Structures are given as structure tokens and as C-alpha cells.
Amino acid sequence: MPYPILRFAKRKAGAVGAVYRHNERMKEAYKSNPDIDPARAHLNYHLKAPEQTYRKEIDRLIEQAGCRKRSDSVLMVDTIMTASPEFLQALPDQEQREYFQRAYVYMRDKLGEQNILSAAVHMDEKTPHMHLSFCPINVNGKLSAKSLLGSPAQLSKWQTEFHKHMSARWPELERGVSKIETQREHVPVWLFKKAEQLDKEAGRIREALSDISAFNAGKKRDAALALLSKWLPEAEKFTAQVKTVDAHICKLEQAYEHERGQAVHYRSKALNNAESLEYKEMELEYLKKQYFKQKAILERIPPDVLEQVKQKKHKVKER
């Protein structure tokens, strides 16, 4: 059963450059992705080539629209558009190109061509796919990926409309099962927010640990214990959740490796069910960095102090 595949990845300022270099094949070597064959790079093509770097074009569009921009704004959405490998690989070259052209038209009509930074079709990997990158400026001239992509229900609507658009030309294409129905695991947004919060508190917690010893007493020690008792459950919850997410990513990696050995099924399942594994791996790296930082602080707490903190927390619960 072949499926059309459409996946979105939101990108803030720090990631735009890396996506640009990857999509536009600006690197000389791709050791992190052995599936890229440089000998086939000449087969890659654009349905829309970038006029300048993604970041410069984004800045131009934002200035032109008069958008307000925060330091943590999503500046770009990188969209992967492809289909089940067995379907795409069976198409004649001209019809395969028609598939990506039709997919481009769908996005152009939804977003407005002026907001599309680039539409690069990669033929140098086992499964042809298109990276369509756009700046999320909505019809009201506001920079807002949320208003364009929205809730899971709104994303599901994108998928349904995309399937309808593509299956009008290729009726054999089927609509995949909605993420809302499958309730697939994902990296929860609150985990990233918690990582940022705990990272900001790390210095204060280290300072508090320095103020505690088996011999000191008084207000300074009490204040340090109070701070630790508030921080400890949050840090423990965060580290436990990262382990869960890590285990989930490992499962996805195993599935991805399994499918790499089967050329016919290459990456279809990973793309369809994992919402682009490579992006999740990048997210996980950030979480892991914060995980090890919090874990190192947890390990610095002397056992007797840890016991005091837990007793203090228990007494607060009893009250």
C-alpha cells in the first residue's frame, strides 16, 4: 500500500544554517548520512532555487511583512515530501518529477510562493524526496508557525488534503492512519521547557550544595535545603522522562536500521511513523546534554543531605 508522505520540522534561528547547508548540499562530505551518494549529486534539482541563504531570505521576508520576531521564534519550517519507496521507484523519471511538481503546487497554493525559500529534490539518496523550506508568515502578515500548522487536528487536515491532492493523479495512493488515531509517542514540548528551566537553575543549585555540609547550620543551610527540596522532584522527573524518550528514539533507530537493509522499504516507515527520525535525534541530543548536567548535580548531593531534603519534602506533603 503506497502512501504520500508529508512531514514538517519547525526550525528556530540556530538551526537554519545547518538545514540550508544540508538541503542545498553545501558540504563536501556527509559522514553522518552514509546514504548520500556524492556520485549522484548531479541528479538533484530545484523546483524553486533559493535567491540567497535561507537566513538572509527569511530576514528579507520578515522585514518586508513588518513581522514582530522574538528570540525564540520559529523562523522556518523544513518540509519533507516524498512517498513510499516502492511507489516512487516504479515511476518513470518524467512521472517521478511530476510527483514532486504536483506536491510543490499543493504547498504553493497553501502558503503562497513568496514564502517558499527553496524546493530541493534530492536524487542522491535511495529514496527520492523533496525538502521544501518556507518562512511561516500567515495571511495576516504574522510570523506564526503555530497558526499555519496548528494543533494535531490541523496537521491531520494537512495530511488529508495532501493525500486528496496527490491521489487525484495517482488513485493507488492511500491515506495513512492519522497520528491522532495511532497516538504515537513523541518528544513532549514540556520536556524542552523543563530542560531550559533547570539549566537556568543549575548555577543556583551548585551554589546551594556548596553552602551545605554536615557541620554548618542556620539560615543559610535552611535556605539551601528549601531550594534543593523544590528543585529535586523536578530534576528527577526530567531525568526519568529523558530516559523514556531515549528508549523510544532507540526503538525508532532500530526500525530505521532494519529498513536500511531493505532497499524496497527504505525509510518509508521511519518517515511515516517517526516524523523524521533525523530531527528527533537532534532534539534528543539537546535533552541528553541537559540530562547529564542534571544527573551530575544529583550525584553531587551527599547521601545525608539527600535524606534531609526528602524528609523535608515528605513533611510538606503531610501538611
| 58-116 pLDDT tens trace | 999 999 999 888 888 999 999 999 998 889 989 999 999 999 999 999 999 999 999 99
Cα 239 to Cα 204: distance, rounded to the nearest angstrom: 18
pLDDT at 266: 40
pLDDT at 5 over 70: yes
Which three cell numbers mark 216?
A: 554548618
Give the least confident one: 13-27, 197-211, 220-234, 251-265.
Answer: 251-265
Q: In the prediction, which pLDDT does 62 show?
A: 95
pLDDT in tens, 173-221: 988 655 544 444 456 667 777 888 888 888 888 888 887 765 565 677 7
Quote the cell numbers at residue 58. Answer: 527569511
What is the pLDDT averaged over residues 261-286?
49
Mean pLDDT score, 131-135: 97
Residue located via cell numbers 516524523: 275
Whose grid coordinates read 534530492?
A: 122
Does the structure show a pLDDT above 70 at 137? yes
As a whole number of angstroms, the distance between CA 229 and CA 233 comes to: 7
| Residue 318 reports pLDDT greater than 90 | no
> Which residue did the predictor score with more confidence, 33 or 83?
83
- Which one, of 231, 288, 281, 210, lies nearest residue 251 by Cα? 281
The answer to whether the CB of 120 falls within 8 A of the CB of 46 is: yes
Model pLDDT, residue 134: 97
Mean per-residue pLDDT, 288-293:
83
Whole-number Å distance between alpha carbons of 29 and 48: 24
| Distance (Å, whole) CA 195 – CA 193 | 5
> With pLDDT > 70 as the criterion, what percentage of the chain qualifies?
76
Q: Percentages helix, strand, coil for the chain, rounded to the nearest 5? A: 60, 10, 25
pLDDT at 39 over 90: no
DSSP state of 71: T
> Each residue of 144-155: pLDDT tens digit?
999 999 877 788
